[in-house]
Amino acid sequence: MSNLNAPLQVSKISWQGRLPLFLYSVVACTILAPSLGLGNYLSGLLVQAFIFGIVALVTDVIWGYLGILTFASSAMFGIGAYALGIMFVHVSPTLGGAILAVLAAILVAGLVSTAIGWLAFYSRAKLSEFYLAVVTLGASILFGQAVLWTGTLTGGSNGLSGFATLSLSNQAWYAVAAAALLISGSIALKILSSDFGLLMRAIRDNEMRCRYLSIKTPGVKTAVFSVCNSLIAAMGAFYALFTTVVAPSLVGLTLATNVLIWVILGGRATIVGPALAAILVTAATPQLSTTMPLYWQGLLGLVFVLGVLFLPRGVLPTILSAVGMGMRFWSRQPAAARFDIGSHLRHAEGTGPVLQIEAVSKNFGSFKALTNVSLSVQRGELLSIVGPNGAGKTSLVRCISDGNERSSGLIRVGGTSIGQNPPDCVAALGVGRKFQTASVFETLTVAECMQIATWKGKIPNLFRRSHNLTLAPAAAEVVNALDLNSVWNVAARDISHGQRQALELAMVLAQEPSVVILDEPTAGLTVQERTMVGEVLSRLVATEQLAVILIEHDFEFVKRISTRVVVLVAGKLLADGTIKEVASSKLVREAYLGRSYKERIA
């Protein structure tokens, strides 16, 4: 996901290990204690406020952490509310019925979310970031209409409000709601400070990089989206159970936009902020609408505008940073760079070529970017692809790393065809790609970036944060050689350009690929850095039996380290051989320099 959705700034100060526990107990006391002395009215109001607080914090997980802008919260909430309403009005107004309704709501919400996820996350075409927002917007409106259609079941425009519900005192409901809020908040915070939380932030920062690190991001996004929406649906059922309000307006856009407003005001990616914002706004609403019935909506609008203008990170982070505290709820790696070096991975034996490109063509409409390119790369080769601009070098790289890119031809990695598979599958086959502009995770530290790479696409632990990092020898070599140790705990966007290139290279190598594609790795590097990279690459090719494909303009660099050079001009492979052969080829010279007048008229 692009930077559009990243929070503006993640403050850097960390909590000590004991602190979260202390904070939780303060919050727990504040929330649970008043249930003994809280009046009926306030208990009832806070039950609703806590329910919306949970909805807000779950939406923060989806949006603030994973970066998915969703308008579906109200539709999901409505699914829950209507499930419960239908159960209590038409079937069985008992606790058992309620549980059944909640389960049904969770199931339906999960299915609908999965369908939406399939629609929005799995498309091969490059959908706009807003596409999911648009789909969920449409879904909310459609659901609102559907509710009106099925009038006999859903009560039509009147809804199903006012049914007999379980009889509990408001204080008892309060205890349940408060417990639910604490539990959801704690679980959310725990998950977000785990490895899985790291994965979510990585996807938000740079989804494409994740895919090229073998992570099946559409699946992760859909799963998180579905689970969170199911929880929102459960909250809708809880709301209906308590208030007995089940009406089409619950399903409409008002709640969906309110939830997003709470998240922004409270502070995206803070969990606590959105929950607090939701609770405060919900609790204040009846007070406002009874004391200033004609003006309160305008006042709210003013608060939103001012909030967005002057508290860009949200109310909570701004307040906390003003009093000198940070907002990171997860613990950090200790200061020193610590990682183990793993053993050399024995690649699958086989003497076949590690990469086979057969008659690959790529067309953009009538423009032929690549025509009938065939190439075979063996282990231990350092192959450079050279050619003038627009020759199709990057197109070729794209075709190799993404099964959907080429228009025709076959590409095999280690004998297995990549078919039409997406980048994560191709990466899992052993293709590592380093982009021209260093593609890393901006808000994550160097250590965290490396950690993500070492997962090799496996979904990490949901609750625990691992502190041990084992790097493949190739990656470790890059880290040591290019001095990434010194910036181990620095956010990736704060390190130098050369270090970012090194970081990306290390990340790619941490996957232990069998073929690594580097797109202009020396761009913007100093002479020293260039030399070091060259040395590292040569060494890796020799000792690790890697295959490296290099796209480079720096001919000196190419000459120094390549074992083989391939020339691409206007989409066609023009020459393929050692440096000497290629450099002395007349064709190549002509392609680069053109023919002299004399040669032309000769």
Partner 1 sequence: MLEHLLNVVTTASVFFTVSTGLLIVLSVMGVVNLAHGAFLTIGGYTAVVVSQSGWSPWSSLLLAPTAGFVFGLATELIVVRSLYGRPLDTILATWGLAMIVTQVLSDRFGRSAHFVDEVVSGDPFVVAGVFVSPYRALVIAIAVLLGVGLTLVLRWTNVGIIARAVTLNPGLARVLGINTGRVNSITFAVGCALAAFAGAVIVPMSSVDPNMGTPWVITAFMVVLAAGVSLPALGISAIGLAAAQVLVTYYVAPVIGSLLVIAIPVLLLRFVPNGIETFLKPR
Partner 2 sequence: MRFFMVRKYALSLGLVAASAMGVCAWKAQAEPKEKGAIVGFVTEFSGNISLIGEAGMQSAQLAVDEVNAAGGVLGGKLELKVADDASDPGTALQVWEKLVAERVDAFIFRETSAARVAVLPVAEKANIPAIYANAYEGGDCRPILYTAGEIEPQKVAPYLKFLKSKGASKIFIVAGDINWGRIVTEMVRKAAPELGLSILGEEFTPYNTTDYSPVITKIRNSGADLLISALGGTPDNVAFFKQTRSSGLMQSLKVVGNLALDDTTLAAVGSAAKGSYMVASYFMTDPSEANQKYLSALKAKFGNNMKVPGIYSEPVYDSVHLYALAVNRAGTTETSAVLKALSEVEFQASPKGVIRLTPDRHAAMPIYIAQATAEGTYKVVESLGVQQPPKQCNPEPPFGMPR
Residues near partner 2 (CB under 8 A) are: 15-16, 18-19, 22-23, 26-27, 29-30, 34, 38-42, 44-46, 48, 145, 148, 151, 155-159, 161-162, 243-245, 247-250, 254, 282-283, 285-287, 289-290, 293-294, 296-297, 320, 323-325
C-alpha torsion sign, points 419, 422, 425, 431: positive
Can residue 125 be called a binding residue for partner 1 (CB under 8 A)?
yes
Query: Pick from partner 1, partner 2, none: which does 277 bind, CB < 5 to 8 A by kind?
Result: none
Rounded CA-CA distance 387/591 in Å is 8
C-alpha torsion sign, points 174, 175, 176, 177: positive
Q: State which residue, 324 or 365, has the beta carbon closest to partner 2.
A: 324
| φ, ψ of residue 511 in degrees (nearest 5) | -80, -10
Q: State which residue, 250 or 509, has the beta carbon closest to partner 2.
A: 250
The two structure tokens encoding residue 486: 């010194």
Query: Pick from partner 1, partner 2, none: which does 264 bind, CB < 5 to 8 A by kind?
Result: partner 1
DSSP 450-490: HHHHHTTT----SS------EE-HHHHHHHHHTTGGGGTTS
Residue with token string 């010194």: 486
Can residue 407 be called a binding residue for partner 1 (CB under 8 A)?
no
Q: State which residue, 30 or 407, has the beta carbon closest to partner 2.
A: 30
CB atoms near residue 97 (< 10 Å): 16
Query: Pick from partner 1, partner 2, none: which does 158 bind, CB < 5 to 8 A by kind?
Result: partner 2
Is 390 within 8 Å of 556 (Cβ atoms)?
Answer: no
Rounded CA-CA distance 111/204 in Å is 23
Pairing of strands 382-386, 367-377: unpaired
Stretch that binds partner 1, among 10-18, 126-134, 220-228, 512-520 (CB under 8 A): 126-134
Q: State which residue, 49 or 112, has the beta carbon closest to partner 2.
A: 49
Query: Pick from partner 2, partner 1, none: which does 45 bind, CB < 5 to 8 A by kind?
Result: partner 2
Q: State which residue, 314 or 387, has the beta carbon closest to partner 1.
A: 314
Minimum separation from the CB atom of position 136 to partner 1 (A): 10
Q: State which residue, 8 or 183, has the beta carbon closest to partner 1.
A: 8
Can residue 156 be called a binding residue for partner 1 (CB under 8 A)?
no
- Please, which residues have CB within 8 angstroms of residue 245's CB and are 6 or more apart in sequence? 81, 159, 161, 239
Minimum separation from the CB atom of position 137 to partner 1 (A): 8
Minimum separation from the CB atom of position 134 to partner 1 (A): 6
- Please, which residues have CB within 8 angstroms of residue 507's CB and are 6 or more apart in sequence? 213, 440, 449, 450, 452, 453, 475
The strand pairing partners of 386, in sequence order, are 567
Binding residues vs partner 1 (CB under 8 A)? 4-5, 8, 69, 119, 123, 125-128, 131, 134-135, 137-138, 141-142, 145, 148-149, 257, 260-261, 264, 294-295, 297-305, 308-309, 312, 365-366
